[in-house]
Chain A
């Protein structure tokens, strides 16, 4: 009965490849997020979707494309992977944005680009 699940947990791939990370939440939340945690453990928002609609799109290369087929899923597709994309990516969800409800995080996907 995992609340926010993301797959895969580990992803090792070569430069130039295209990969996807999947995220699903079963909490009935209407807002989902993708965060990137760099090697210094600093978390930064990448995208936020509310009811399948893109709300936040931070300064992220357009090689990163989120897809939300329904409000329970927010997948992240990355084209032409680069070395600098190596990081841990966290999916999260909350009800009605993070203002008045806690965030629930997935366990993270450690992406290593070689």
Chain B
């Protein structure tokens, strides 16, 4: 069992819908990252958070440390949001090691 589990694995939505992607982890963490991988392959860091909530444009990320759970929300989804969204956790120590979830493939149809 992976230390980081994402759900759903695949998600198809219509343009304008509110999207939620979930990430659960089984280890104690210091920080959690949300990444976006475009169809062309490039990876972009969306958020890094260790508590509470962060917002950037139409994207919102929340984390509940006690429940070991994070969510990524996309409001008013658009076809350009179609990508793989990856959750990764940093469990501390000086080794800078991230453990990744397997990603959620989001397809937003016009």
Complex Cα distance, B48 from A78, in Å, reads 32
Q: State how many angstroms separate the Cβ of A88 from the closest Cβ of chain B.
A: 7
Docked-complex contact A107 and B41, CB < 8 angstroms:
yes
> Among residues 15 to 62 in chain A, which have CB atoms less than 8 Å away from a CB atom of chain B?
31, 33, 40-45, 48, 50, 55-56, 58
Docked-complex contact B48 and A101, CB < 8 angstroms:
yes
> Among residues 49 to 100 in chain A, which have CB atoms less than 8 Å away from a CB atom of chain B?
50, 55-56, 58, 88, 90, 92, 94, 97-100
Q: Considering only CB atoms and an 8 Å cut-off, how many residues of chain A contact the other chain?
A: 29
Complex Cα distance, B98 from A95, in Å, reads 14
Docked-complex contact A108 and B41, CB < 8 angstroms:
yes
Interface residues on B, range: 20 to 34
Q: Considering only CB atoms, which chain B residue lies closest to A104 in the complex?
A: B45
Docked-complex contact A56 and B95, CB < 8 angstroms:
yes
Chain A residues closer than 8 Å to B43, beta-carbon distance: 90, 92, 105, 108
Known contacts A105-B43, A107-B42; decide if A98 and B103 are in contact (CB<8 Å).
no
Chain B residues closer than 8 Å to A98, beta-carbon distance: 31, 33, 48, 90, 96, 98
Q: State how many angstroms separate the Cβ of B17 from the closest Cβ of chain A.
A: 23
Complex Cα distance, B35 from A43, in Å, reads 11
Judge if B51 is at the interface, Cβ distance under 8 Å: no
Chain A residues closer than 8 Å to B103, beta-carbon distance: 41-42
Docked-complex contact B94 and A105, CB < 8 angstroms:
no
> Among residues 61 to 110 in chain B, which have CB atoms less than 8 Å away from a CB atom of chain A?
84, 86, 88, 90, 92, 94-98, 100, 102-103
Docked-complex contact B45 and A103, CB < 8 angstroms:
yes
Q: State how many angstroms separate the Cβ of B98 from the closest Cβ of chain A.
A: 5
Judge if B14 is at the interface, Cβ distance under 8 Å: no
Known contacts A55-B96, A98-B96; decide if A41 and B45 are in contact (CB<8 Å).
no
Docked-complex contact B100 and A56, CB < 8 angstroms:
no
